[in-house]
A and B are shown apart, each in its own frame.
Chain A
Amino acid sequence: MNVRDQILSRMYVVLTALAVLPFIILGRLVWLQVDQGDDLREAGLRQAQSQELLLPKRGDIVDTAGRALAVNSPKYDLALDPTVPGFEAQKDDFLHRLATLTGTSSTQLHRRIDRRKSEQFVRLVNLTPEQRTEIDSWNVPGVLLEERFQRRYVYGQTAAHVLGHVDVDGIGRAGLELEYDQYLQGEPGRRTLLRDRRGYRRIDAAGIVIPPKDGETLVLTIDLIRQTIMEEELAAGVAEARAKRGSAIAVDPRSGAILAIANVPTFDPNVPLNAPVSSWRNSAITDRLEPGSSFKLIGASAALETGVTSMDRLVDTGDGELVLDGRTLHDTHPHGEISFSEVISKSSNIGMALTSELMSAEHLYRYARNYGFGQKTWIDLPGEVAGLLKRVNRWSRTTKASLTIGYEVDVTPLQMVMAYSALANGGLLRQPYVVSERRDVTGRVLWRAADDPARTDSIRRVLEPETVQTLLPALINVVNIGTATQAQTEEFTIAGKTGTARKVVRGRYGSGYRATFVGFYPAEDPQVTMIVVLDEPRTSIYGGQVAAPIFKRISERWIATFDPPTPSTPAPVPPRPLDKLVQQALAQRGPSKRSPAYTRLASERATAVRTESNARMPSASLIRTSEVMPDVIGLDARTAWFRLAADGFRVQLSGQGHVVAQSPEPGARVDTKVVLQLQ
């Protein structure tokens, strides 16, 4: 074999050896695809994709007129990575400017960076959009601004207990925010992003985007202006009476819609942590209390419907003190021999207790139960308690008498106001509610409380209309000549009942009292039932003296907030049998402290022209914004009326259509009365 052949043959060996290599590689390539292909592909997809949650906007909460109570405002979180190249150079300057912008000190920021727990993360929360724009414009590396929505309660404390509040993550923690959280939340959307090995994410143009579903809007039965008035007056009343706490609820007895709920003390849900937790309590539905005399309604209805007594049946209450089954009962004054009607209006404990002896325990229990005591009202607010109504087999010998005068039973203010609403609407117990509608973001109504069969089915008849008509005059007299004369107002007839109950503190009756007034008006056609409860008032313990005036002031200022009259043709209201009774009740009115004009007016109203009572506006000063007359010329009658009435003017309308002239002129000095010429 010559040299050349030798070289060539060795070359072929090398060639063969090298030529094998690509086939080994190919084999391995195919093997990878076949054997591990699926696993590898899945791992690849997983690492390269990242899911980003697209947060939905939390639903708004608006009042019955559509005014926003709880909205979302954008807030920005600043995340800082001090290890990003280029940050260090600008650090001092940046921190100085940031400190100036956010009102902190730059040394504090320096310290936060130095003492950071995470290698690369320092966080500042709650920056405003303006601050964000400013920080953005500095263009500092390593600074990230993240947007999120922060819940904002537009009117601060107003309706705080109804609205509740959310936590930092925007999850409802109390009130409607909690109760309707699932509807307010909405559904988050998703977006797939591309991710690289540094963890940087980029938008994937071909990725899947599931847009978020924004939360539903809650429309409340509560009206902002009414709520504001109630809170103002309750707070003023609580302060005046130097009470510890106070609660008030108003309900439309015809539907069960809550018109307003107020509690003192209250808090600002924007910053719930600034107030003590005790102030978060919606006492109107979470506090159990012995109601005292206001509970006499139940005993009275039971007694009347069994027929064991009638309104004019006489009861001897003696000298204001009676020992019954070993328990001593007191009246505030000795009343002597009085009618059952007077027992109610004068709130005689002895009279009620004696009457209760005439009926069976089971009977009384059934009425209390029917009125909703001892059960939740199932209002759509969290934290409601059922109160306590003992079963008959656990009653002692004194329980029956105690129960009729409002002891040995625990009720919530809400239960009480619903019970009186049943009386006001002719005998039907309704379920209270604060959310009248749920709407989607486009405004489409998704659910309406009034149409919800689960709600309408819950109505039950507590007492017969005849009993209502029998009882009503006595309750009107409570206000006219009885314990609650301080609730009297020129504007309409109020029927109601006071309550003054000793408070149980640690299992004993102490020196503290709870003062209550619960009532409804106009008595001829009740539109509002309201309860005012004061806890441990100091100036007076009596519901008639501390709670009734609050009731009155709220009611008077509220008139302007209800529907304005139709100027030309008032709807004729057919006379009803009830009116006769009311007339009788009014006739029974004792010597009035009021002027003759008032008496005349009252008897006129007895003919039940509801619109007339509304046509005369009270001087309810809600928000008088300026010292000069506002300009309403050109507005339609309704808007003009609203605007002026809300400012507390008495409005007189003549004609129909739009306002063409007003007297006094716009810009003139304020007068209480305004005459509008319509055309």
Chain B
Amino acid sequence: MNGLLKIFPRHLRNLHPLDKYVLWIALVLSAVGIMAVYSAIAFLAEVKAGGDTELFLVRHSLRVGLALIALTVFSMVDYHHLARWSRFFLIGSLLLLVFVRIFGVTYGGATRAFHVGMLSVQPSDLAKISLILYIAVLLVRKQTYIQSFSRTFLPLSLWIFATVGLIGLEDVSTAFLVLVSVMLMAFVGRFSLPYIGSMGAFAVIFAALMLLGSPNRAQRLESYFGVKIFPHSEEVETFSVQAEGYQARQAHIALAMGGLTGRGPGKSVQRDFLPAPYNDFIFAIITEEYGLLGGVALLALFVVLLFRGFLRIARHATDPLGLFIAVGCTVMLTLYGFVHAGVAVGLLPVTGLPLPLVSYGGTSMISAGTLLGILLNISRQIER
């Protein structure tokens, strides 16, 4: 009991105020998400629950509630404690990834989750948070010999590629995003550019292997570039629901339909044409319903989060650990946002990454809440 209390750094009355901006961003994103998902879920609701959209509204709201609880809890848990345990978290989540690989449920063609009671748990979400924490720990620990190949580069690379590799076996886009996040962390943590470059090179080789191993993935990338690159890619009709070209075009139509001010809340038409509009294409739906202005406002929230996370929280963090974790969390959250939007506008191949706190989904929601909570905890420990 005493040990449990110890994870709270000080008594609650001693807590510093948390960063208001980040908190408000979290609340606004949640609210926007509830409205947008309520609209976008209609199609899924029709298929799965006989048109009962309220069922999904309640479910989504509950998940938002869970995410906000996670945010609150982690904003109160001292990140130093988390850092201390991060090695075990990471090892545990890597074991879970292997476990899921063998025993998990197959969903949407990929084995990513297993069910614990009501929740479906995706170990990759656990793994990516653990990785950020542990990489931050390692970066702090190895600052004195940061240029060392054997003592710094190798262990970091080992952990990074073990995690990213295991995630990437099932979910290349998430893996890629995690990799970029930790590479940027390593860059901030004074990793030399050749090391960063060689990690990037490894990543490219790994990605190429993944593409060669999966005709489906190859086809996705081809449809993005519009040319046939791989001999083994699947021949999919261009205008079929499954085809990536179709999804991208439908997203473009959604964006164009929105115009400057949008069709109005709940009036999306493209939700009927986009696959998983409540998740992969929620940005497109929001832009359709609230227009270019709505899309820009949503992007602006992530820009504010980026600047707040870097300039306010990371820069003023009490120690390098806080700085690295803050950078990692901020980079990961904003990258999710930008990649998600980048897919919607057609800058990136269709990936299926959620928009943090907005998209419909269980563990992605909670992991976004956790990342924000950790960020807020760092902001609380800033000396005035």
Residue A14 contacts which of B187, B315, B345, B347 (CB distance < 8 angstroms)?
B187
**Interfacial chain B residues near A48, Cβ < 8 Å:** 269-270, 272-273
Taken together as a complex, chains A and B put the C-alpha atoms of A24 and B345 apart, in Å, by 10
- Name the residue among A6, A40, A44 with the largest chain B CB count within 10 angstroms: A44
Taken together as a complex, chains A and B put the C-alpha atoms of A7 and B188 apart, in Å, by 5
Q: Are A25 and B190 in contact (CB under 8 A)?
A: no
Known: A7-B188, A7-B190. A24 touches B252 (CB 8 A): no
Taken together as a complex, chains A and B put the C-alpha atoms of A3 and B190 apart, in Å, by 8
Distance in Å from the Cβ of A139 to the closest Cβ of chain B?
14
A37 at the interface (CB under 8 A from B): yes
- Nearest residue, chain B, Cβ from A46: B253
Q: Are A40 and B257 in contact (CB under 8 A)?
A: yes
Taken together as a complex, chains A and B put the C-alpha atoms of A18 and B254 apart, in Å, by 26
- Nearest residue, chain A, Cβ from B347: A28
**Interfacial chain A residues near B184, Cβ < 8 Å:** 14, 18
Taken together as a complex, chains A and B put the C-alpha atoms of A36 and B257 apart, in Å, by 11
**Interfacial chain B residues near A33, Cβ < 8 Å:** 255-256, 259-260, 292
Taken together as a complex, chains A and B put the C-alpha atoms of A145 and B315 apart, in Å, by 69
Q: Are B273 and A47 in contact (CB under 8 A)?
A: yes
B95 at the interface (CB under 8 A from A): no
Known: A32-B346, A33-B259, A47-B273. A11 touches B338 (CB 8 A): no
- Name the residue among A13, A22, A36 with the largest chain B CB count within 10 angstroms: A22
B350 at the interface (CB under 8 A from A): no
Taken together as a complex, chains A and B put the C-alpha atoms of A12 and B341 apart, in Å, by 23
- Nearest residue, chain A, Cβ from B270: A44
Q: Are A28 and B256 in contact (CB under 8 A)?
A: no
- Nearest residue, chain B, Cβ from A37: B256
A8 at the interface (CB under 8 A from B): yes
B310 at the interface (CB under 8 A from A): yes
Distance in Å from the Cβ of A308 to the closest Cβ of chain B?
86
A10 at the interface (CB under 8 A from B): yes
Q: Are B256 and A41 in contact (CB under 8 A)?
A: yes
Q: Are A25 and B299 in contact (CB under 8 A)?
A: yes
Chain B, range 184-205, C-beta contacts under 8 Å to A: 184, 187-190
Q: Are B310 and A15 in contact (CB under 8 A)?
A: yes
B306 at the interface (CB under 8 A from A): yes
B360 at the interface (CB under 8 A from A): no
Distance in Å from the Cβ of A296 to the closest Cβ of chain B?
77
**Interfacial chain A residues near B296, Cβ < 8 Å:** 26, 29
**Interfacial chain A residues near B311, Cβ < 8 Å:** 15
Taken together as a complex, chains A and B put the C-alpha atoms of A171 and B366 apart, in Å, by 64
- Nearest residue, chain B, Cβ from A48: B269
- Nearest residue, chain A, Cβ from B191: A10
**Interfacial chain A residues near B338, Cβ < 8 Å:** 18, 21-22, 25
Q: Are A30 and B257 in contact (CB under 8 A)?
A: no
Q: Are A11 and B190 in contact (CB under 8 A)?
A: no
A194 at the interface (CB under 8 A from B): yes
B143 at the interface (CB under 8 A from A): yes
A197 at the interface (CB under 8 A from B): yes
Chain B, range 222-276, C-beta contacts under 8 Å to A: 241, 249, 252-257, 259-260, 269-270, 272-273
Taken together as a complex, chains A and B put the C-alpha atoms of A18 and B183 apart, in Å, by 13
- Nearest residue, chain A, Cβ from B283: A25
B349 at the interface (CB under 8 A from A): no
Binary interface profile of A, 263-277, with partner B (CB < 8 Å = 1, else 0)? 000000000000000
A196 at the interface (CB under 8 A from B): yes
B99 at the interface (CB under 8 A from A): no
- Nearest residue, chain B, Cβ from A22: B299
Residue A25 contacts which of B252, B270, B341 (CB distance < 8 angstroms)?
B341
Known: A15-B307, A33-B259, A36-B252. A10 touches B187 (CB 8 A): yes
B278 at the interface (CB under 8 A from A): no
B323 at the interface (CB under 8 A from A): yes
- Nearest residue, chain B, Cβ from A11: B188
- Nearest residue, chain A, Cβ from B315: A8
**Interfacial chain A residues near B188, Cβ < 8 Å:** 7, 10-11, 14
- Nearest residue, chain A, Cβ from B254: A44
Taken together as a complex, chains A and B put the C-alpha atoms of A12 and B323 apart, in Å, by 13
Taken together as a complex, chains A and B put the C-alpha atoms of A197 and B272 apart, in Å, by 6
Taken together as a complex, chains A and B put the C-alpha atoms of A378 and B70 apart, in Å, by 90
Taken together as a complex, chains A and B put the C-alpha atoms of A10 and B185 apart, in Å, by 10
- Nearest residue, chain B, Cβ from A206: B267
Distance in Å from the Cβ of A194 to the closest Cβ of chain B?
7
Distance in Å from the Cβ of A539 to the closest Cβ of chain B?
74
Distance in Å from the Cβ of A96 to the closest Cβ of chain B?
28
Q: Are B256 and A36 in contact (CB under 8 A)?
A: yes
**Interfacial chain A residues near B269, Cβ < 8 Å:** 44, 48, 194
- Nearest residue, chain A, Cβ from B275: A197
Q: Are A19 and B303 in contact (CB under 8 A)?
A: yes
Distance in Å from the Cβ of A478 to the closest Cβ of chain B?
80
Taken together as a complex, chains A and B put the C-alpha atoms of A479 and B296 apart, in Å, by 100
**Interfacial chain B residues near A41, Cβ < 8 Å:** 253, 256-257, 259
Q: Are A32 and B256 in contact (CB under 8 A)?
A: yes
Taken together as a complex, chains A and B put the C-alpha atoms of A26 and B249 apart, in Å, by 18
Q: Are A40 and B327 in contact (CB under 8 A)?
A: no
**Interfacial chain A residues near B347, Cβ < 8 Å:** 24-25, 28
**Interfacial chain B residues near A47, Cβ < 8 Å:** 253, 273
Q: Are A19 and B345 in contact (CB under 8 A)?
A: no
**Interfacial chain A residues near B334, Cβ < 8 Å:** 18
Q: Are A10 and B342 in contact (CB under 8 A)?
A: no
- Nearest residue, chain A, Cβ from B341: A25
Q: Are B256 and A44 in contact (CB under 8 A)?
A: yes
- Nearest residue, chain A, Cβ from B185: A14
**Interfacial chain B residues near A19, Cβ < 8 Å:** 303, 306-307
A43 at the interface (CB under 8 A from B): yes
Known: A18-B335, A22-B338. A43 touches B253 (CB 8 A): yes
**Interfacial chain A residues near B189, Cβ < 8 Å:** 7
Chain A, range 33-75, C-beta contacts under 8 Å to B: 33, 36-37, 40-41, 43-44, 47-48
Taken together as a complex, chains A and B put the C-alpha atoms of A43 and B310 apart, in Å, by 42
Q: Are A22 and B272 in contact (CB under 8 A)?
A: no
Taken together as a complex, chains A and B put the C-alpha atoms of A44 and B284 apart, in Å, by 14
Q: Are A32 and B252 in contact (CB under 8 A)?
A: yes
B74 at the interface (CB under 8 A from A): no
**Interfacial chain B residues near A13, Cβ < 8 Å:** 187
- Nearest residue, chain B, Cβ from A17: B184
Residue A15 contacts which of B260, B300, B306, B323 (CB distance < 8 angstroms)?
B306
Known: A28-B347, A29-B295, A40-B257. A14 touches B252 (CB 8 A): no
Q: Are B345 and A29 in contact (CB under 8 A)?
A: yes
- Name the residue among A18, A24, A195, A196 with the largest chain B CB count within 10 angstroms: A18
Taken together as a complex, chains A and B put the C-alpha atoms of A47 and B331 apart, in Å, by 39
Binary interface profile of B, 322-354, with partner A (CB < 8 Å = 1, else 0)? 010001000100110010011001110000000
- Nearest residue, chain A, Cβ from B340: A25
Distance in Å from the Cβ of A621 to the closest Cβ of chain B?
65
Taken together as a complex, chains A and B put the C-alpha atoms of A47 and B253 apart, in Å, by 10
Q: Are A25 and B342 in contact (CB under 8 A)?
A: yes
Chain B, range 115-165, C-beta contacts under 8 Å to A: 143
B29 at the interface (CB under 8 A from A): no
Taken together as a complex, chains A and B put the C-alpha atoms of A26 and B294 apart, in Å, by 12
Chain B, range 166-195, C-beta contacts under 8 Å to A: 184, 187-190
**Interfacial chain A residues near B292, Cβ < 8 Å:** 29-30, 33
**Interfacial chain A residues near B273, Cβ < 8 Å:** 47-48, 196-197
Q: Are B272 and A28 in contact (CB under 8 A)?
A: no
- Nearest residue, chain A, Cβ from B299: A22
- Nearest residue, chain B, Cβ from A6: B190
Using CB atoms and an 8 Å cutoff, list the residues of chain B in contact with chain A. 43, 143, 184, 187-190, 241, 249, 252-257, 259-260, 269-270, 272-273, 287, 292, 295-296, 299-300, 302-303, 306-307, 310-311, 314-315, 320, 323, 327, 331, 334-335, 338, 341-342, 345-347
Would you list 16 pairs from A and B whose C-beta atoms are within 8 A, ordered by A residue? A7-B188, A7-B189, A8-B315, A14-B184, A21-B342, A25-B342, A28-B345, A40-B257, A41-B256, A44-B254, A44-B256, A44-B257, A47-B253, A48-B272, A48-B273, A197-B273
Known pairs A4-B320, A33-B255, A196-B43; list 6 more (Cβ under 8 Å): A28-B346, A29-B287, A29-B295, A41-B256, A48-B272, A195-B272
